[in-house]
Structure 1
Amino acid sequence: MLKKNLHCHIDTPCPAVHSLQFELERCPGGPIKLCYRLTGDLTKILIPEPKPAIATDGLWQHTCFELFVARTDTPAYYEFNFSPSGQWAAYAFSGYRTRMPWTISRPPIIELTQTRNESMLTARIADAELLFESNEHALQLGVSAVIESVGGALSYWALHHPSERPDFHERTGFVCPL
């Protein structure tokens, strides 16, 4: 199991968040299980209300957890968005922010558990959805999140922020090998 801390972009602080951790578990032939653990003063963070578990654009405009997946030998990559509401999005790109047609065949399974100080989102993605069938090249992950405060401000969290501005699509931010 892989476990890492996400870091807030210096220009988008959110004092209500005490920590944001990411865990990944990959079982051969099974789903990839992701867990985002947010701890802090949840009364100051907007967590979307439950909605039907359907593909939805624009999730990143509110509290949302994200995963970017790329193979080291190609500029192509995939983006997955997981909302605490249960909604999700999945996109394919041929290069930096250049979308290409793709439809996920099995939607991710998203679960949210919450206590007074902790919100934990678990998402499962079918391994086959990554469409990288060759094991010759390693996969790189960009792990990120957008956290919306009660006042509407957005903070941007990632394993690594390679630019002056938050940009989760920047490939040098895909720093987690799989």
Structure 2
Amino acid sequence: MQTHELVAHAAHPPLSIRRVEARILSMTDAWMRVRWRIDGPDKLVIPPFAGRGRADELWQTTCFELFIMPKDGTPAYSEFNMSPSERWAAYDFDDYRDGMRQRDFSREPDCVMRSGQSIAIFDAALPRVQLPGPPCAIGLCAVLEETGGVKSYWALTHTKDQPDFHDPACFTAGLARTRAA
């Protein structure tokens, strides 16, 4: 699967983070595995372990996000937020920021953060049965907090004066309909 370089929003530059990449590692009948790689994480704030469970407002600190919009002609999409704390959230929207509701998730995602001086890796595995199916457009994003409360907002692209991961123009990657491995 393709690696995507994310771009920091110009209005919110990072302190020491030099590069962020995201990629879908694999898609099987059971799991979708996604990885974010951060170069220069020495000032990265990693939320403390909180245990698995649903939580809102994860974007207030370091958080990794995935948006999925089925290519079925409707503006509906889903948002998945995952934190190094192991907390997560899943929402469905009827249209751009409209009709928000929690997405049912009977099996929790698996999230793992590994961090060193030069790179950090965040891996998430989401249960495939609970995700919209391909073909679809996707957005890969991250909110990265660094020391002093500095937040940078990373996405495939930014089209507005302020960060807006919900903007359909940010859903520039895609998932094709393929046979699962």
Shorter-chain TM-score above 0.5: yes
- Amino acid corresponding to residue 6 of structure 2 in structure 1: L
Same amino acid, percent of matched pairs: 34
1:81-92 counterparts in 2 under 5 A?
81-92=81-92
1:102 is displaced (CA, Å) by 2.8
- Amino acid corresponding to residue 76 of structure 1 in structure 2: A
| Alignment-derived partner of residue 131 in structure 2 | 130
CA distance in 2, matches of 1:114, 1:154: 18
What is the DSSP-based 3-state SS (H/G/I as helix, E as strand, rest coil) of the residue aligned with 2:47? coil
1:112 is displaced (CA, Å) by 1.3
Count of residue pairs the alignment pairs up: 173
The RMSD of aligned alpha carbons is 1.4
2:63 maps to 1:64: yes
CA distance in 2, matches of 1:30, 1:41: 31
| Alignment-derived partner of residue 27 in structure 1 | 27
1:125-164 counterparts in 2 under 5 A?
125-132=126-133, 138-164=135-161
Unaligned runs of at least 5 residues, structure 1: none
1:41 is displaced (CA, Å) by 4.2
Given that 2:155 and 2:165 are in contact with CA atoms closer than 8 Å, whether structure 1 keeps it comes out as yes
Could you list the structure 1 runs, at least 4 aligned residues long, displaced by more than 2 angstroms after superposition: 25-28
**TM-score between both structures, scaled by the size of structure 2:** 0.90
Given that 1:63 and 1:146 are in contact with CA atoms closer than 8 Å, whether structure 2 keeps it comes out as yes
What is the DSSP-based 3-state SS (H/G/I as helix, E as strand, rest coil) of the residue aligned with 2:94? strand
CA distance in 1, matches of 2:139, 2:123: 17
1:23 is displaced (CA, Å) by 1.5
Q: After alignment, is 116-125 or 55-64 more displaced?
A: 116-125
What is the DSSP-based 3-state SS (H/G/I as helix, E as strand, rest coil) of the residue aligned with 2:53? coil
**TM-score between both structures, scaled by the size of structure 1:** 0.91
Given that 1:94 and 1:100 are in contact with CA atoms closer than 8 Å, whether structure 2 keeps it comes out as no
| Alignment-derived partner of residue 36 in structure 1 | 36
1:25 is displaced (CA, Å) by 2.5
CA distance in 2, matches of 1:113, 1:47: 10
